[in-house]
Amino acid sequence: MRTAVRYYSKLGNTRRIAEAIADGAGVPAISVTEEPALSEPVDLLFLGGAPYANIMAPELRAYAETLTPNTVGRVVLFTTSNWSRRTVLALKKLLKQKGIPVADEYFYAHMTRIKARCSAATEFAKAQLLKEKL
């Protein structure tokens, strides 16, 4: 199964969670600023970012706009924030409108508990991969 982890992070919190998810998935975590579109189709994409001023980062939105049902089989979302899960909700809506399946379950890490949530992020990725194989 082809799997990828992509994220947008300004402060490094989301990057740390993305790297933990990538560890669980056995793939590298790549910033959407480094790779503005998927370089090859994937079966499962872990995609995440945090809200900034309570809205999704334009870089993350632009990346999500490049995705199509031909480039990704299913998306699993993750976010970091001190209180808002708006990025997950906005991404889910955008991707579903494009006909891309999005997992109901997502990973959330409060920005003050990033280090404590890294092992849970790794296990979350492993569990999502198991679900995908069933």
* CATH numeric code, 3-133: 3.40.50.360
> What is the per-residue pLDDT across 9-38, written as a single tens digit (0 to 9) for each?
999 999 999 999 999 999 999 999 999 999
134 — pLDDT class (breaks 50, 70, 90): low
Alpha-carbon distances of 117 from 17, 32, 89, 97, 122, rounded to whole Å: 8, 22, 21, 31, 9
Where are the chain's structural domains?
3-133
pTM greater than 0.85 (yes/no):
yes
Which pLDDT tens digit goes with each residue over 92-119? 999 999 999 999 999 999 988 999 999 9
Rounded Cα distance, 32 and 29, in Å: 10
DSSP string, 36-81: SS-SS-EEEEEEE--EETTEE-HHHHHHHHH--TTTEEEEEEEEEE
